[in-house]
Amino acid sequence: MRVILGIGLQSFTKVATVLFPIAASIMLDLSILHALGERLSLFHLAALLLVFGIGLDYTLFFQRSHKTAAERQQTISAIIVCSLTTITVFGLLACSQTPVLRGIGLTAFFGSLSCFLFAAMCSPSQHQKTT
């Protein structure tokens, strides 16, 4: 994965900038699950892979260079809509009485929420040149 990102982003700094929010959100997700008393299962680990993919998408789109402020705003609006629907669906799944579905829902809910927040915090500001 790092090799592919390295080739695509052509900079170790950019790769680290992309991977940091994902790693931070997965650590936070695992911490929250532990605090809630969840025992990790294979389903939690599969959901963490989903969280990794979601976080990669959010981070890459936030890090994307834009030619105009309108284009940047359009991208951010799309990310917000996607993240809200993802967080809502997995939040509903976390309310399930079935332990497997609840575990997947909790993991993906907290993971996708924290991925969005960390990706937004680590994104370049509008006034910064994003090349």
* Confidence band of 56 (pLDDT split at 50, 70, 90): very high
Which tens digit of pLDDT belongs to each residue from 70-105? 888 898 999 999 999 999 999 999 999 999 999 999
Longest dimension (CA), the chain: 48
- Examine residue 90 and state whether it is found in any structural domain, yes or no: yes
Residue bearing the bigger pLDDT, 13 or 50? 50
For the entire predicted model, the pTM comes to 0.84
- Examine residue 63 and state whether it is found in any structural domain, yes or no: yes
- Examine residue 14 and state whether it is found in any structural domain, yes or no: no
- Res 91: pLDDT: 96
* Residue 43: C-alpha distances to residues 60, 94, 102 (Å): 26, 13, 10
- Examine residue 127 and state whether it is found in any structural domain, yes or no: no
Task: Tally DSSP H helices, then E strands, for the chain.
Answer: 5, 0
- Examine residue 130 and state whether it is found in any structural domain, yes or no: no
Q: Is residue 66 helix, strand or coil?
A: coil
- Examine residue 9 and state whether it is found in any structural domain, yes or no: no
- Examine residue 10 and state whether it is found in any structural domain, yes or no: no
Residue 122 φ then ψ, to 5°: -90, 0
Which tens digit of pLDDT belongs to each residue from 26-54? 999 999 999 999 999 999 999 999 999 99
- Examine residue 51 and state whether it is found in any structural domain, yes or no: yes
* Residue 1: C-alpha distances to residues 19, 28, 54, 63, 64 (Å): 10, 21, 14, 17, 18
How many domains are contained in the chain? 1
Structural domain range at position 58: 19-121
Q: With CA atoms as reference, report the closest residue to 29 among 121, 97, 115.
A: 115
* Confidence band of 130 (pLDDT split at 50, 70, 90): very low
